[in-house]
A and B are shown apart, each in its own frame.
Chain A
Amino acid sequence: MFNRFKNINIQIVVAVLGVLIFSSCRKIIGELPEFDQVPVINALLINGKPITIHVSFAAHPDTTGLPVCENANVSLFIDGRLAENMNYDEHQQAYISNQIAEINKCYRCEVVIPNHDTLSAETYIPAPSNIYNPTVKYIGGYDNEGRPYPAVVFSFDTNPDIMTYYQVFIENVPGYECPLYNPTDEVILNEGTDHPVFSNEIIQDTIYTMELPFLTGSSSDIREKYVIELRTVSEDYYTFIKQAYLFDDYINNIGNIMTGALVPQYMYSNVTNGYGIFAGLSIVRSDTLVPQMKELRHFPSLGEKTKGNSSFSSTITTLPKSTPAKPI
């Protein structure tokens, strides 16, 4: 029954009526201006994983598959020393290193492509933070149409004296990312967006507990399983991924007459003489979290709901403070 309400998208209804009234129209116009190819370096250096660097070209918007650069000379420097000249792997369409990314090291790459200026970028890999006591609340709140949505609750350690950046990935097992919904955590709100990217700028303590409500796409299905992935990221990645989320919002609102013209979302790049992102991060994952079936009913009564928030919260897998989750 409640899924039917989900079909009432106010914006769509008003948009359709607006279209009827004003007979708006859209059409393809004009040619896009020429654009000379510019090299792009992309690499996410993950603690404990082999290093790969993807080199491609930014191209005119009417290009279908963007060209990948196979003839570049890619050099990897670790803490200022040349560590390796990387080889191109056709299968992965990327340059592969024998090096395993490690925390607290400074990585730099230099890419030489014929007829282009030398590209370079550098980054570091921050140490991971630990997750404690991850839980899933079946009811983290109710949306504008009264449907419940869940929330994850977890603690993590951080050093308030060192500016540290994070991304949280709430995975709906077996795979897709659950977007945040109406977050009220002040650390998230401090970022000015509703996305799970934040810094410890306003965190005072060494342990911080965060509650993140999210959408699952099927809120009434209580058999979902979740994993919390906490990514401790470099400042470059933080800036980049924040813009990437905003760009995703931009894409999702394209052509929406309710929002009108959209504000452009520039993608952050730390690559000299090109585009792309070269950034490091460390990842910690919780165990799989499953709500306890016996405590759940299809829709609880308000009387129960207003008495407290424990009835439908379930701690399925607890990681005690002494045994933090391990990095993947």
Chain B
Amino acid sequence: MKSIFAIRFSLIMTAIALSLATLAQKHHISGYVSDASTGERLIGASVVIDSTSTGVATDNLGYFSLQIEIPATIRISFTGYANMRINIENVTTAPLNISLLNNSTNLDTVEIVSSKNIINQKLNVNTLTAKEIERLPVIGSKPDIMKAAQLLPGIEPMNEATSSLIVRGGNPGENSYLFDNVPLIYVNHLGGFMSVFNSEMINSLKIYKGGFPAKYGGKLSSIVDITQREGDKNNFKGSLCAGATDISFSFEGPAGLKNSSFIITGRKTFIDLYYLGVSAIAQYVEAQDFSILYGFHDINGKYSWHPNNKNSFYLNIYEGDDYLKIWKKEEDRHELSKFSTSNVWGNFLVSGVWNRIVNPKLFVSNTISYSKYRLKNKYNLYAEMSPDTIDYWTKGQSAVQDIGIQSNWKYPLMNNWNMEFGAQVSLQISNPNNYTNQYIGSTNISEILYGLNSVVYLENKIHLLKIINANLGVRLSHYYTKDYNKLSIEPRADINILLSDNHLLNLSYMRVTQNSYLLFTAGNIMNNEVWVPAGADIKSSYSDQLSFGWRGSLYNNMFEAEVDIYYKKLYNLATYKEGCTNIIGDGNWRNKVISGGSGKSMGLEIMLKKTTGNWTGFASYTLSHATRQFEEINNGEEYIFDFNRPHSFSVNIAYDLNRKWSFSALWICQSGLPYTPVLAVQYIPILYNDGSIHYEKSFIFGERNSEKLKLYHRLDLVAKYSKYSKRGRQVEWTFSIYNAYCRQNPYYYFYAPEDWQYGLNTDAILYKYQFSFFPIIPSFSYKLFFDKNPRKKPSL
């Protein structure tokens, strides 16, 4: 039935497209909008035919295409930049390269405008700029885009302080993180307390919660579209930053070839030293040669080259790992033994992009990419005991690789109809469980699974009757493994109805298919995330989502507001079987996974944002309800989703006192996470070896997730001080306080006797305990900028 609907939808959409194609055509112009001083492309700049509301916004590449009647004047604007008008009197096929002056460059001579235009606004999508991200308080006083995203309506953290996102009642593994349009598989550092995205590299962040454009897919709940910065094409500059958890650097500048640039950033934790210090103390106290090391690093680079107005080339590289390592050595007169264990997990990504403006109407972007996530551990024992020597080890690894190629095209059929289409092919190589154990009768478990995912898509961006902006599309996806075939037809519709210049309504529908599952155990600091591919046993999951909303600008664009409601159904979900936490080393790992589950999610989201003036910020509220149902969990009955928070509210306020001092505050108030209560205790019989039966206490649990932890709330504060040194270099101090009033928010509850570490004896009286992390945590960071133009404050 659903397939018939999808086919009908596709036919209707094609019919609309064909009918509109018969309309007359005008002249097209296209090009890029960029920053005049750095050459960096600007995302979301407005390109509008003067004195009309007809226009477009530049895309993630800074590209635009617009149909005009010659002669015409186009107006280009972008928040914080001088407004620019260009007269076009002759037909031209050459791409335009438009450079806007930053407001800090020459404030006295240019007109600064707000680029807010309701035409460019969309619902189901939240956007954060680098500046907004920078102002939000986090532990360690360094900005984190995932923590910033968690303040948006409909998006919440999995647990307190983690980077993993729960979007509209979806699992953490249902979010696609696109790094310059290339999927990055793992996004957490430090067990989730920091994200892998270095904010120094981020240009903009868009999160699609529903109404995905047909170009995007592969994950059920969200598309996190992260655009990286380009380096400065004209000047070398950079920064060094030391925070409570890590040190980081950023360098950028021209890269040799004309119109080329590079940017490279990196981070390395401080806490390695802390751990080594603790190890040294432990060695002293226990007189043991023992060391422990825990930390992460990441490095991120981008090379950009625009040899001419038509062609652009990019090369992106990311590499990052977390690691936990332990060494121990013992030696006496007769024996020497060394023991070590190593756990390493992280990502590697490399991609190349070639963008070309074929002609003023046709734009193509080609990408080839390789990304890999792997979790590996190794244990080693070396011992010398005359006359024997032992060198014993075990190795385990779980990995997934993605080799992809995609070609995305843009073609404006007419001024009110832009088509985007393309093809994407990716080969996923999964090795969820590679295990080698070197001992008598050593085992070697390894199963490599191949999955080929082929996608073609078509998007039609149509502007009708001056009040309707619609993106109608379809995505055809085919997933193939040696024992499983899945063809998915995914219709997409995102329709905006302009009520006035400042108000629009939105209606969207989407179907999305996902061909891999993330298995994880929440709260485990040593990452145990394992990706398993869909196959004959664990079939692909899919979801349907319908949403409706309003967005408007109020008080002369001083405020933006939006209200969304959504309903989502998820099918063929998979998760760990109850009691299972890991599959590495288990050749029959599929028996630890249950599939065929379903889920429902519905909610109301409200957001109010102020973006102008000395006081800025945003407030968001989400009312939601999400459930899951698996045949083997909760007696097959539907239960509340593990990360369901019915109410979630946050307000973030930033204030610029002067050029040196700025302040921001964040208050979050959320319903507690659900938990399963213990109702009573009962005796259960345990049969001993002598045939006797003993009666032990066990719990009688209530319905799964039927109660909530107590209310979660906290206040975070940030003060930022910026000044210029005598040499003209900018320095920046950031002071932050996490959980300023030291609220003991529950991380989870558990039931245990008072002497709970000794187990559950029959005379024990049970108490309910609350476990809390993160009391008040003050921190600071220091950042030093290097710039050939020292009096200018670089952007983030």
Contacts and interface: CB of A to CB of B under 8 A. Distances in A.
Contacts of B769: 26-29, 255
A13 B292 contact: yes
B526 interface: yes
A30 B768 contact: yes
Interface stretch (A105-113, A117-125, A184-192): A184-192
Nearest to B709: A261
A297 B443 CA distance: 24
Given A142-B392, A244-B686, A33 B677 contact: yes
A1 B337 contact: yes
Contact of B680 (A35, A184, A260): A35
Contact of A146 (B381, B524, B579, B681): B381
Interface in A187-244: 189-193, 227, 229, 231, 240, 244
Nearest to A174: B689
B206 to A, nearest CB: 31
Given A244-B684, A263-B578, A275-B700, A29 B770 contact: yes
Q: Which of B687, B688, B751 has the most CB of A within 10 A?
A: B687
Given A32-B768, A189-B587, A251-B760, A276 B324 contact: no
Given A259-B521, A263-B578, A277-B684, A61 B678 contact: yes
A32 B748 contact: no
B762 A14 contact: no
Interface stretch (A4-12, A81-89, A155-163, A316-324): A4-12
A134 B698 CA distance: 34
Contacts of B767: 28, 32, 62
B682 A267 contact: yes
Q: Which of A30, A62, A254, A261 has the most CB of B within 10 A?
A: A261
A267 B684 contact: yes
Contacts of A49: 691
A139 B752 CA distance: 37
B679 A192 contact: no
A59 B680 contact: yes
Given A22-B773, A28-B768, A38-B680, A255 B752 contact: yes
A60 B678 CA distance: 9
B283 interface: no
A88 B135 CA distance: 73
A184 B771 CA distance: 36
A265 B275 contact: no
Nearest to A252: B759
Given A29-B769, A246-B579, A302-B389, A60 B680 contact: yes
A182 B765 contact: no
B330 A65 contact: no
Contacts of B685: 42-44, 54, 277
A217 to B, nearest CB: 15
A64 B762 CA distance: 7
A17 interface: yes
A33 B341 contact: no
Contact of A190 (B591, B687, B701): B591
Contacts of B759: 251-252
A177 B771 contact: no
A300 B388 contact: yes
Nearest to B690: A175
Given A21-B271, A258-B525, A308-B440, A145 B381 contact: yes
Interface string B613-644: 00000000000000000000001000000000
Contacts of B770: 26-29
B772 A26 contact: yes
B111 interface: no
Contacts of A114: none
B701 A264 contact: yes
Contacts of B536: none
B683 A4 contact: no
Q: Which of A32, A62, A171 has the most CB of B within 10 A?
A: A32
A302 to B, nearest CB: 5
B677 A192 contact: no
A40 B379 contact: no
Q: Which of A139, A193, A229 has the most CB of B within 10 A?
A: A193
A189 B586 CA distance: 7
Interface in B419-435: none
B440 A184 contact: no
Contact of A23 (B381, B691, B700, B775): B775
A193 B579 contact: yes
A202 B655 CA distance: 67
A301 interface: yes
A40 to B, nearest CB: 5
B699 interface: yes
B394 A144 contact: yes
A65 B682 CA distance: 10
B729 to A, nearest CB: 33
A147 B677 CA distance: 39
B704 interface: yes
A78 interface: no
A25 interface: yes
A277 B696 CA distance: 13
A254 B678 contact: no
18 contacts: A4-B288, A10-B341, A20-B278, A28-B768, A29-B746, A40-B682, A44-B687, A54-B693, A62-B765, A184-B443, A189-B586, A189-B588, A255-B756, A255-B771, A260-B522, A276-B682, A301-B388, A312-B440
* Cβ-closest 9 pairs across A and B: A260-B523, A146-B381, A61-B766, A261-B748, A301-B388, A189-B588, A58-B682, A246-B579, A264-B676
Interface of A: 1-2, 4-5, 8, 10, 13-14, 17-18, 20-30, 32-33, 35, 38, 40, 42-44, 46, 49, 52, 54, 56, 58-66, 139, 141-142, 144-146, 148, 169, 171, 175, 177, 182, 184, 186, 189-193, 227, 229, 231, 240, 244, 246-247, 249, 251-252, 254-255, 257-267, 275-277, 281, 283, 298-302, 305-306, 308-309, 311-312, 328
Given A8-B339, A255-B752, 14 more contacts: A8-B290, A23-B773, A27-B744, A28-B754, A35-B679, A42-B684, A64-B764, A65-B763, A189-B586, A257-B523, A260-B524, A265-B699, A276-B683, A309-B441
